[in-house]
Amino acid sequence: MAEEFARSRLAVGLMSGTSLDAVDAALVRLAGSSDKPRVRLVAFTSVRYSLGVRKRILHVASGEAIPAREISQLNFLLGELFAEAALRVCRKARISPHRLSVIGSHGQTVFHQGFATLEAGRKISSTLQIAEPAVIAERIRAPVVANFRTRDIASGGQGAPLVPLVDYLLFKDRSKGTVTLNLGGIANVTVIPAGAGPEEVLGFDTGPGNMVMDALARRFTHGRKDYDSGGRLAAQGKVLEERLSDALRFPFFREAPPKSAGREQFGDEFIKRYFFSGRKRESAQDLLRTANELTARTVAEALRNFVWPRASIGRLIVSGGGAHNRLLLKKISELMPELDVDLSDAFGIPVDAKEAIAFAILADRTLQGLPGNLPAVTGARRAAVLGSIHPR
Ligand SMILES: Nc1ncnc2c1ncn2[C@@H]1O[C@H](COP(=O)(O)OP(=O)(O)OP(=O)(O)O)[C@@H](O)[C@H]1O
Ligand SMILES: [Mg+2]
């Protein structure tokens, strides 16, 4: 017991995903072995992006031509915001930041291309997460690990998803096949067959999580609300069957994994095409209900088409902000009655903190010289130690 305690360490994970809602900070105490880490959440906080910052990120990530000045300034500005989130979570826990053994910062993705294109005769894939780690290290005076995805890409992988290794370490089970489902802007799953080794884990994006619903909610409330809280508006509407079946024919859903998605697939264009085409006058409630149904159906169909034929699964563990959407959760459970559906809270991992916790664990692995990717999931040539390290 004493030995384990002596070896336990405090780490912070910082994460902001495709929803562009907030920087999430999780302060955890880590112990246990590299094979079976034990993690206890000490404190969690979210620092929301202001509307102005959110707009600037959306603009830089839009694919338009952006002056280098804007990317450079935004990188350092986000560094300050990520550092603030780390400081706040320490303050909340009344823990001096100097006691942290590491901070793992995912940064904010502004570009991600997991497949190669020819650039000056060479095959190049690339990814860019911003929120300057040097700023975080300087403000907190703790070692910072960042840029996790680049090493996987350099090793021939798609750079994503990375959370499946953490899911594997935390939720693997000898007798129960498990799927973890994260409902962020995009919905993604990690499949861990009973008794599986790391090479048998599968991880991929199923399609929209909250992204389509959020866009509709913002539009209908003229920006007053960022999402449909609890799915309450959607619950007052009915599914628009024709729109739903059109949207379900979007080619991404039929592609076999590995596959990943983002705003490129499920951003404004998708919404225009499937939710606002034609001249019909439809209610906000009906459109939101249809978007809610689209997420539930595409998650269930992805599992049915691509997972059930390969593995027997008994339980689904749900996390991410979308786990607060009661209508969505109810629908997902109904569509897969054969599964025990739980929130990650039941395993000591609060739904909102899960992704941030994952990057605390990945950073800790980096400092220990342990790999952070699963080649079977990302397609990398090897399991690599991820990230760039910024010393204390
Ligand atoms: N009470 C709630 N009811 C319904 N939806 C909610 C609620 N709270 C949060 N959400 C949804 O969760 C989203 C934020 O989720 P989260 O932070 O997990 O996603 P993310 O930032 O895209 O992260 P990642 O890409 O890492 O999964 C919000 O945009 C919103 O759609
Ligand atoms: Mg978020």
Same fold, 2-160+353-390 and 164-338: yes
Rounded distance, CA 319 to CA 313, Å? Answer: 17
Give CA separation, 54 vs 10, 49, 109, in Å: 30, 6, 12
**Can you give the pLDDT at residue 44?**
98
pTM reported for the whole predicted model: 0.96
From the CA of 188, give the closest atom in ligand 1.
27
pLDDT at residue 59 tops 70: yes
Rounded distance, CA 381 to CA 376, Å? Answer: 9
* Secondary structure of residue 193 in the 3-state scheme: coil
Q: Which fold has domain 164-338?
A: Nucleotidyltransferase; domain 5 (3.30.420)
The verdict on the CB of residue 350 being under 6 Å from ligand 1 is: no
**What is the distance in A from the centroid of ligand 2 to the CA of 22?**
5
**What is the distance in A from the centroid of ligand 2 to the CA of 308?**
29
Percent of all residues in the chain with a pLDDT value above 90, rounded to a whole number: 96
Task: Residue 243: name the closest of 205, 297, 306 by CA.
Answer: 297
Query: Domain residue spans in the chain?
Result: 2-160+353-390, 164-338
First to last CA, the chain: 29
Task: Residue 339: name the closest of 317, 361, 357, 321 by CA.
Answer: 317
Angle, alpha carbons 249-251-254 (nearest 5°): 85
pLDDT in tens, 318-373: 999 999 999 999 999 999 999 999 999 999 999 999 999 999 999 999 999 999 99
pLDDT in tens, 215-251: 999 999 999 999 999 999 999 999 999 999 999 999 9
Rounded distance, CA 317 to CA 334, Å? Answer: 15
pLDDT at residue 279 tops 90: no
Phi, psi of 258, rounded to the nearest 5 degrees = -70, 140
Superfamily designation of domain 2-160+353-390:
ATPase, nucleotide binding domain (3.30.420.40)
Residue type, 288: L
Enter the DSSP assignment of 304. I
Task: Among 112, 325, 351, 354, name the best residue to mutate to test ligand 1's pocket (greatest count of ligand atoms within 8 A of Cβ).
Answer: 325
- Once rounded to an integer, what is the mean pLDDT over residues 271-287? 93
Residue type, 374: L
pLDDT at residue 1 tops 90: no
Residue nearest to atom 11 of ligand 1 (CA): 321
**What is the distance in A from the centroid of ligand 1 to the CA of 356?**
13
- Once rounded to an integer, what is the mean pLDDT over residues 279-293? 95
Closest ligand by atom to 216 CA: 1
Segment holding 50, helix H or strand E = none
The verdict on the CB of residue 320 being under 6 Å from ligand 1 is: yes
pLDDT category at 3 given cuts 50, 70, 90 is: very low
From the CA of 20, give the closest atom in ligand 1.
21
